[in-house]
A and B are shown apart, each in its own frame.
Chain A
């Protein structure tokens, strides 16, 4: 049972480049979320989904895009990378009934 799988683990981008952070879960969870973690600010919600085909914005959505075409996958797209997007990104999933989020191992992104 792999849980929540995030790829890549590390990434360096140049300003203006785009990329997709991948997230997949094999627990048949309805809920999935993307967070970014910056020093001293805890985890801030970027986007979330309560089921396939349904997404909504979180606290810091600007510059990011998501889609949820299947229950398993929830990719995060950076449209035009900026240095302010340098952060650690976490994907997480939770069941509706057994509520409690399981996190992926994170992606450390540096934008230069």
Chain B
């Protein structure tokens, strides 16, 4: 069974600085998707970024980018120029659209932004 591990329960960063959240996963498949979701205090789950395993290029969305290391089964999220609105729980997730359609989540990392 697939597992997703987030080893940093909490992280903090100064406003305007850069922070990296870690995620590792375990799978025997070669074709899959990885995601980062953000959950602010409002409780809403927001898709931040998506990476398809067959794509070697790391995904980016504005200030958010990933470092996808397929061989190492590592998928970290880098947030540049951190803003107060980035404060949230961040969840890493794994899924496959054909064969394992459901998502498997890590336990999350709580990110605090220090003004």
By a beta-carbon cutoff of 8 Å, the part of chain A in contact with chain B is 31, 33, 35, 40-45, 48, 50, 58, 88, 90, 92, 94, 96-97, 99-103, 105-106
Please count the residue pairs between chain A and chain B whose beta carbons lie under 8 angstroms apart in the complex: 55
Least Cβ–Cβ distance between A93 and chain B, in angstroms: 11
Stretch binding the partner chain, chosen from B43-51, B61-69, B79-87: B43-51
Residue of chain B at shortest CB distance from A44: B105
Least Cβ–Cβ distance between B40 and chain A, in angstroms: 12
The answer, among B33, B104, B107, B108, for a CB contact under 8 Å with A100, is: B33
Contact A103 B97 (CB under 8 A): no
> Among the interface residues B46, B50, B102, which one has the most CB atoms of the partner chain A within 10 A?
B102
Contact A99 B44 (CB under 8 A): no
By a beta-carbon cutoff of 8 Å, the part of chain B in contact with chain A is 33, 35, 37, 43-47, 50, 91, 95, 97-98, 101-108
Residue of chain A at shortest CB distance from B4: A42
The answer, among B44, B50, B101, B107, for a CB contact under 8 Å with A105, is: B44
Chain B hits for A101, CB < 8 A: 35, 47, 95, 103
Contact B105 A96 (CB under 8 A): no
> A45 to B93, alpha carbons, bound, how many Å?
12
Main secondary structure of the interface of A (DSSP, over half): strand
The answer, among B35, B91, B102, for a CB contact under 8 Å with A48, is: B102
Least Cβ–Cβ distance between A100 and chain B, in angstroms: 5
Chain A hits for B104, CB < 8 A: 45
> A44 to B107, alpha carbons, bound, how many Å?
10
The 3 A-B residue pairs whose C-beta atoms are closest, nearest first, are A103-B45, A99-B97, A42-B107
The answer, among A31, A40, A48, A94, for a CB contact under 8 Å with B107, is: A40
Chain A hits for B95, CB < 8 A: 99, 101
